[in-house]
Structure 1
Amino acid sequence: MVFMPIFPRALGLLLGIGSLLLLAACGAVTGTGSDGSRPGQLRIVASFYPFQFVAERVAGSHATVESLTKPGAEPHDLELTPKQVGSVTDADLVVYEQHFQAAVDEAVAQSGNQNVLDTTSVVPLQDHGPLGEDEHDDHDHAGNANLDPHVWLDPNNMIKITDAVADKLTKIDPDHAADYHKNVGALDADLRQLDDSYREGLKTCQRTEFVTSHAAFGYLAERYGLQQISISGLSPDNEPSPARIAEVQHQISKYDVTTIFYETLASPAVAQSIARDLGLRTDVLDPIEGITEQSRGTNYLAVMKSNLTALEKANGCS
């Protein structure tokens, strides 16, 4: 019998193939899913960042959380890919706000998924009305013209949403109920502390009026005794009319406003133009619809604290 020698290069190739096969076999047993989840983990889909933040804090290591709105994207006009629609169908829990993102509403309705949390069931949307005497927001937010979707900017609303997410997870995954209760307690404590900071920080100010690029801060203003003056409507896509800009300029003069706020996910051009014409300063007031490199903080709590600092400075609070 003649033995053929195995050359080093061929031997290395055989060993490499063997290693790949071994890794593949291990992955089949202990690997992660295409969404990054591990065996036994829940898959949660959140419509956009604030609900992603809550779900991640409450679920901890027991779930992977996917946001349908990618970082840096404007959530008001979200369009879903077929893969994202499939994620809504397959998710163990979907957290979203009805009437805010029409594409998400449609995907949830078509999915047949029963494990969903519509946050309007725990925090009903409020009608914050017209933006001026003759100026109304014409962006219908899925047919609800003046319903303000920005509930997450009031920490008290976030507590209600946090508790509702925990209740859902406890029913879906009762084996980890103790962990969910522990996590929700920690997040609720953080949110209550944030609320206390806002109450204390905005208690004594030279003025209560503040000017924003779009009407995202109605819940925050109502909670802490402020008055929001918005250049645009409930959606940053709205172009303000000349009459609206004139009205904003009048209110700026009337209330001796020193600062015009803009945001990171929408164009600051109009806000900067008004500020330049009137000799005012500009600053960021973030509606926290997403976290990017430009955000003044790495998570919801940090950006909310940055917003508080900006409001205190602009309104002369002590």
Structure 2
Amino acid sequence: MSIAPRRLALLAPLAALPLVLTGCASASGADDGTVDVMASFYPLQFVAEQVGGDRVTVRSLTPPGAEPHDVELSPAQVSRIDGADLVVYLSGFQAAVDDAVAQTSPAHVVDAASDTTLRPADHEDESEEEHAEHEHGDLDPHFWLDPSRMPSVVEDVAATLTEIDPDGAEAFAANAAALSQRFEDLDATYAAGLQQCDVRTFVTSHEAFGYLADRYDLEQVGISGIDPEAEPSPARLAAVETIVRDEDVSTIFFESLVSPKVAETLADDLGITTAVLDPVEGLADPDADYFSIATANLEALRMALSCS
């Protein structure tokens, strides 16, 4: 299979990382004495930062603004995984990270896949050829879009940080409790905000929002499947057009880290609008965070679904 253009774009900046990252690594812990944490992509980076506070130094294996599904790692990043005090990742999501964790010996590992039950990926609308070309497995990785699933990851990170840094146990426990409460409050806000809606079907550029849809009794329709790189077939586009008309859908959602071209073209053909629904896989805006993005997503959904 040929390398996607986005993957080629990622390899160039990553090739420049070894001198920077090699200078930062230490045998045990970060240079400033904090716990050295490597997170595979943004939602897990956010949890580690919030739970660890000033007792941790957290770095992400996915560059800012990069789409994480098929990220590649430089040799320096693999070396840093090997020397990290803690690696927080999601097995089955990023093949390069899975390989690096398997080939190295991180002192401590938190695999978020063990903290929640992942739902099966929906391959119903893929041809056999499309499914064979995709790098994702048979499980949908996007659990973080259901905030009710996040506290279990928070508690796992807090417990593991306590093993590494027992003196920080009280701080980790307090930070974890506060963060878990924020996720619980967000869950309640979503449930209330999406309870009374005239439309309960939403169309997205790719099927990243299955957990959110399941949690709040909505129906997600993806132009593409789990893999955002997948090109929808003409039959799939025709099926989405039918759903848009039959379900009175007013908006097609695209995301910030993937080209909106297909979504915009389809919306133009149907005479409806487009809007951003962010899968919170990475930050396009450095001033944003998980909760500000989730709040913006809720408002976008409420408007598109005519919620009261």
TM > 0.5 between the two? yes
Shift of 1:46: 0.2
Q: What residue number does 2:231 align with?
A: 239
Distance verdict in 2 for CA 1:139–1:76, change over 3 Å: farther
Give the TM-score normalised by the residue count of structure 1: 0.85
* 1:126 aligns to 2:116 (yes or no): no
Q: Which string of whole-angstrom CA distances, capped at 9 and with x for unpartnered residues, describes residues 226-283 of structure 1? A: 0000000101100000000000001111100000000010010000001000000000
- Pick from 283, 286, 289 the counterpart of residue 299 of structure 1: 289
Name which of structure 1's ranges 119-128 and 201-210 shifts more when overlaid on structure 2.
119-128
Q: What residue number does 2:176 align with?
A: 184
Q: Secondary structure at the match of 2:221?
A: strand
* 1:163 aligns to 2:155 (yes or no): yes
Q: What residue number does 1:311 align with?
A: 301
Q: Secondary structure at the match of 2:206?
A: coil
Which amino acid is 1:247 matched to?
Answer: A
CA distance in 2, matches of 1:133, 1:224: 25
* 1:116 aligns to 2:109 (yes or no): yes
* Pairing 1:131-280 to 2, within 5 Å after superposition: 131-132=124-125, 137-138=131-132, 140-141=134-135, 144=137, 146-280=138-272
1:139–1:233 CA contact under 8 A, matched in 2: no
CA distance in 2, matches of 1:114, 1:99: 20
Shift of 1:128: 3.5
CA distance in 1, matches of 2:35, 2:190: 34
* Pairing 1:34-53 to 2, within 5 Å after superposition: 34=24, 37-53=30-46
Q: What residue number does 1:22 align with?
A: none
Give the TM-score normalised by the residue count of structure 2: 0.88
1:137–1:233 CA contact under 8 A, matched in 2: no
Ranges of 4+ aligned residues in structure 1 off by more than 6 Å: 133-136
1:45–1:88 CA contact under 8 A, matched in 2: yes
2:42–2:60 CA contact under 8 A, matched in 1: yes
Shift of 1:72: 1.0
CA distance in 2, matches of 1:124, 1:202: 23
Q: Secondary structure at the match of 2:32?
A: coil
CA distance in 1, matches of 2:210, 2:62: 23
Question: Which stretches in structure 2 are left out of the alignment for 5+ residues?
Answer: 1-22
Q: What residue number does 2:68 align with?
A: 75
CA distance in 1, matches of 2:276, 2:142: 17
Shift of 1:35: 5.6
Q: Which has the larger radius of gyration?
A: 1
1:258–1:281 CA contact under 8 A, matched in 2: yes
Residues paired across the two proteins, number: 282
Which amino acid is 1:241 matched to?
Answer: S
Which amino acid is 1:305 matched to?
Answer: T
Q: What residue number does 2:56 align with?
A: 63
Shift of 1:191: 0.7
